[in-house]
Structure 1
Amino acid sequence: MGFIDHLDHLVLTCVDFEVTKRFYTEVMQMQLETFGEGRIAFRFGNQKINVHVRGSEFEPNAHLPVPGALDLCFIAGVRLDDVVTHLERCNCPIIEGPVERTGATQKIRSVYIRDPDFNLIEIADLQE
């Protein structure tokens, strides 16, 4: 067993902050958080996604911080059917799923969508 316990945050680079904010607060239902000197994050559970706007990244940052390079999987706290209904109400197209996948600890059932920067977003529920 290594010394890493869990992920605290990751950083997403976006093109248009207002469009990204709408997606992550309304579609993904994350909480908007301001911290530090005007920094922005989307909080969910005990984790968060910090946001950089392309061309105005905070230092230090990734070697090549580009929008659309992420492939993220989130575990929903509700049934996947409820997630699908919510996505449909938000007019957020599902590009694949529901499909069965193998998660970090067990089988999951997932749908795939894209955020405004074309990052791949997988939303899953845990299978019994």
Structure 2
Amino acid sequence: MPAAPPPIDGVLEAALYVEDLDAAKRFYGDLLGLQLITEVEGRHVFYRCGATIVLLFRAAATRQPTSNDRLPVPPHGAEGDGHLCFAADASALDAWHAALTAAGIEIEADFCWPNGARSIYVRDPDGNSIEFAEPKLWGPDT
């Protein structure tokens, strides 16, 4: 029997699929303040969020095979609303609620889970479910 692989260190990238890259840039860059890393017009925009990179792709563009032999990334894409959760402590959640509301973003849900962790849910311009939650949602070790 082969040896077990080493443990995974974390999530390096998380991807969502959007149609309107300009609206995504206003939401993720301007409103949320994520740091822009790179973008390719009509295809994608990438942001840094802590140790994770948030990849925003136009699914139709990423389903096309690459013509770059140096970066042979397989085609991919998804349909329907995705989900991404940003970590925020309790005091930051109040500030996020106020900032999102002031920006005209509807708060879809704001509640506490059975363990006491609070979550706020909104939709990005393409309908993806975006959550802001206390890290204790997943236990004391997170």
User: 1:39–1:19: structure 2 CA closer, same or farther, 3 Å change rule?
Assistant: closer
2:52 maps to 1:47: yes
Percent identity, aligned pairs only, is 28
Q: Is the aligned partner of 1:96 residue 2:109?
A: yes
Equivalent residue of 1:7, what SS?
Answer: coil
Letter in 2 for 1:92: I
Q: Which has the larger radius of gyration?
A: 2
Higher relative CO (Cα under 8 Å, sequence separation at least 6) belongs to: 1
Contact 2:87 2:132 in 1 (8 A): yes
Residues 39-83 of structure 1: per-residue CA shift (max 9 Å, x gap): 630111111111221321164243x522x4312211125521111
Aligned-residue Cα RMSD (Å) equals: 2.8
Q: Which residue is equivalent to 1:76?
A: 88
Relative to structure 1, the CA distance from residue 6 to residue 107 in structure 2 (aligned partners, 3 Å threshold; closer, same or farther) is farther
Q: Which runs of 4+ in 1 moved over 3 A?
A: none
Count of residue pairs brought into register by the alignment: 121
C-alpha distance after superposition, 1:73-106 (max 9, x if no partner): 1112552111111111211110111x1126xxx7
User: Does 1:28 find its partner at 2:32?
Assistant: yes
**Between structures 1 and 2, the one with greater strand share:** 1
Kindly provide the amino acid, as one letter, of the partner of residue 22 in structure 2: E
Q: What is the match of residue 108 of structure 1?
A: 117
SS state at 2:11 partner: coil
Where in structure 1 are there 5+ consecutive unaligned residues? Answer: none
1:60 partner SS:
coil
Structure 2: state its 5+ residue gaps: 1-5, 67-72
CA contact (8 A) 1:114 1:121 kept: yes
Q: Is the 8 A contact 2:112 2:119 kept in 1?
A: yes
Q: TM-score, normalised by structure 2?
A: 0.71
**Structure holding more helix per residue:** 2
Q: Which residue pairs with 1:117 in the alignment? A: 126
